[in-house]
Structure 1
Amino acid sequence: MKEAIKAAENARGKCSPNPFVGVVIVRDGLVIATGWTQAYGFDHAEVNALNKVTDTAVDAEMYVTLEPCSHYGKTPPCTQAIIRAGIRTVYIGLIDPNPMVAGSGIKQLQDAGITVQSGFMQDEIELQLEYYLVYIQKCRPFVLWKTALSLDGKFRAEDGSSRWISNTYSRRYVHCLRNECDVVMTGVNTVINDDPLLNVRYCAKALRRDPVRAILDPYLQIPITSRIVQTLSKQRTYIFHADDCPMEKRETLRNFGAELIAVKSQGTALDLNCVMNELYDRKHYLILLECGGLLSDAFWSERLIDKCIFIYGNKIVGGKQALFSGLDLPSISDAITIERIKVHNLHDNILVSGYPKYNHEAHNSS
């Protein structure tokens, strides 16, 4: 199963909205094939592995990280391919919580006389598939929030400048994150202040895959001269706006190639749950959120952050540009706790990652 987990990593970021799954096939004590999920619409991991068997898979054992699918989608059911191949035993890491599977894959295999055992290395596989599990269980994308801060916790200097708080190694790491995600999201203020491209540049060219860009811009204030607008023909881009936004502005951006999505607003801001629903409906399961203070505060307040990454540069900038100055947490008892913290050195930068645990009692009483 460890080898199957390792094999699954070959598909990370390359097969969404399908989960990235790994498979190892063993016969007479020898590994005869290893497979992983291909791009959406192509072979799932089980079929990919079976197609690599050069002799026969009859009476072989299959180790698969996630329960094989049992329904027709873009591809036929993997269970049928396993049955036809004559596999004798299937070892499954994690039962698929997708209601279209959820044990039915196991039942089909057992009904065909195949021995099935499940529950191997579940913790490791749940961590590996954390994006997919949130997508299925919460019916919304997994939100990975990233920020770069000075050593004293400021996200920009007093004059508004923020390039470059982090070093080249940190920026390369962020580009690898972008390469893995479905959507990279920011707010219009970041577009105005920083003029980002939000593409992938620091990964090996053969492996680059630009994510969809999503800009939250309630009243379509995005500058036509911005690099986002000027590259709309090169990278798919959603612009979320309030449903009462002027039609003239919408038409201008559509002509440049933007995909405009109207959602409900809450005062001067967009309803973030509506934004998440739109992205879920478009089958995006991993959102990388790279934004400034206002949008960060909104996502944290709505308890939509699933994982957070803080990158600390080696600079002290002083001033008052604290990232969470707009987040209403008046007491330590209201604080958001970050659990399962990991710390990595990126040369002279520090990366801190973890998972938020929200104070639900404080939220429910507010």
Structure 2
Amino acid sequence: MRRAIELASGGLGRVNPNPLVGAVIVKDDRILAEGYHEKYGGLHAERNAFSQLKESAAGADMYVTLEPCCHYGKQPPCTEAIIGNGIKNVYIGSHDPNSLVAGKGIKQLRDAGISVTEGVLEEECDALNPVFFHYITTKTPYVVMKYAMTLDGKTACDTGKSRWVTGESARNHVQQTRNALTGIMAGVQTVINDNPSLTCRIENGRNPVRIICDSSLRIPDSSEVLKTAHKTRTIIATISDNAQRLSQIEETGAEIVKTKPLNGRVDLKELMLKLGRLGIDGILLEGGGTLNHSALKAGIVNHVHAYIAPKIFGGSGKYTPVSGGGVKSPDDAYMFRNLKITRFRHDILLEYDIINKDR
């Protein structure tokens, strides 16, 4: 199963909104074949593994990180292939919450006389697909709030300069996350201040869909985001009814998504529903303190990536990861769990899942 997990990761950034899945076929303590879901619309992991066989798999075992599908989609059911190839035992890591599967795949295999063992390295297998599990059950994107800060909690100097808070290794990891998630979201003030491209700089990487929250359409025509909107899918989320400006932005190739106003800003909950309908299953939130605060308050954040650099900027504290009004008491704080720590030379990354997102 550990090998299947390793294989599954090969589909990062290529299979969305499908899950990452790996499969290994074993007989007489030998690996006969292995495979993974390589790209959206391509062979599922199980069928990919069967396609690599050089001998019969009759009587063999299969290890697969996610419950095999049992319905027709872009590919036929994997349960049919497992049964048809004479697999004797199937070992499954994660259960598939997709209502089209959700235990039906396991039942189909057992009804065919195949022994099924569930929950093998379940925690590790579940860790492959938080985006898929969230999206398939809520139809809204899984949101990762990312920021980099100093030891004294600053995301920039009082001058506004922020290049660079963290080192190259940590910044390269951010690029990997951009490649893995379908969308990236920032506020218009970030675009005005920094003029970022919000693309993936990994060789052969995938550019995420760029989503800019811009309530009053202040985005400059000269911004990299609009100048390249014809090449990289770009969405401007707004509440504005300025027909002339909306038309100008659409002429660049950018799409417009409108929401009802909420306190004079884009309604982020409504935006997530609309982005989900557009097939955006995961978003890296690279906003400033204001947008991060709004996202937390709206209850759309699922996970946090906090990069911490061994630096102190000092100053007034104008630039912090989360601004806004703040909570009134420590008892009202946003709480997190499931800490994961990764070191990038002198910088560290703290990852957490949010507990009380809906308050």
TM-score (norm 1): 0.93
Matches of 2:258 and 2:101, distance apart in 1:
33
Equivalent residue in structure 2 for 1:354, among 331, 336, 352: 352
Q: Which residue of 1 aligns with 2:8?
A: 8
Q: Which residue of 2 aligns with 1:320?
A: 317
Equivalent residue in structure 2 for 1:293, among 289, 296, 301: 289
Q: What is the Cα deviation at residue 290 of structure 1?
A: 0.3
Matches of 2:195 and 2:357, distance apart in 1:
35
Matched, 1:138 2:138: yes
Matches of 2:67 and 2:342, distance apart in 1:
33
Q: Is the 8 A contact 1:149 1:312 kept in 2?
A: yes
Equivalent residue in structure 2 for 1:345, among 338, 343, 346: 343
Q: Is the 8 A contact 1:301 1:327 kept in 2?
A: no
Q: Secondary structure at the match of 1:128?
A: coil
Q: Is the 8 A contact 1:199 1:211 kept in 2?
A: yes
Matches of 2:68 and 2:221, distance apart in 1:
47
Question: Which runs of structure 2 are paired with 1:93-242 in the superposition (5 Å)?
Answer: 93-201=93-201, 203=202, 205-206=203-204, 208-242=205-239
Equivalent residue in structure 2 for 1:336, among 320, 334, 337: 334
1:22-69: CA deviations, max 9, x gaps?
Answer: 101012221111111121111111111110111111221111111111
- Cα 1:92–1:342 change in 2 (3 A) is closer
State how many pairs are aligned. Answer: 357
Matches of 2:325 and 2:13, distance apart in 1:
32
Matches of 2:68 and 2:206, distance apart in 1:
27
Q: Which residue of 2 aligns with 1:275?
A: 271
Query: Following superposition, which runs of at least 4 residues in structure 1 exceed 6 angstroms of deviation?
Result: none
1:284-309: CA deviations, max 9, x gaps?
Answer: 22211101011100111122211111
Q: What is the Cα deviation at residue 245 of structure 1?
A: 2.1
Q: Is the 8 A contact 1:199 1:210 kept in 2?
A: yes
Q: What is the Cα deviation at residue 232 of structure 1?
A: 1.0
Matches of 1:359 and 1:222, distance apart in 2:
29
Matches of 1:24 and 1:75, distance apart in 2:
19
Matches of 1:80 and 1:282, distance apart in 2:
31
Q: Is the 8 A contact 1:220 1:245 kept in 2?
A: no
Q: What is the Cα deviation at residue 359 of structure 1?
A: 7.8
1:158-215: CA deviations, max 9, x gaps?
Answer: 22222222222221111111111110111111101111111111x2x23x11111111
Q: Secondary structure at the match of 1:50?
A: helix
Q: Which residue of 1 aligns with 2:33?
A: 33
> Which amino acid is the alignment partner of residue 26 of structure 2?
V
Q: Is the 8 A contact 2:37 2:44 kept in 1?
A: yes
> Which amino acid is the alignment partner of residue 304 of structure 1?
I
Matches of 2:44 and 2:148, distance apart in 1:
37
Matches of 1:180 and 1:142, distance apart in 2:
12
Q: Secondary structure at the match of 1:352?
A: strand
Matches of 2:90 and 2:104, distance apart in 1:
14
Matches of 1:280 and 1:49, distance apart in 2:
31
Q: Is the 8 A contact 1:264 1:270 kept in 2?
A: yes
State the Cα RMSD in Å.
Answer: 1.6
- Cα 1:327–1:6 change in 2 (3 A) is farther
Question: Percent same amino acid among aligned pairs?
Answer: 39
TM-score (norm 2): 0.95
Comparing 112-121 and 65-74, the one that deviates more: 112-121
Q: Is the 8 A contact 2:147 2:321 kept in 1?
A: no
- Which structure 1 residue ranges, 5 or more long, are not aligned? none
> Which amino acid is the alignment partner of residue 230 of structure 2?
S
Q: What is the Cα deviation at residue 327 of structure 1?
A: 4.2
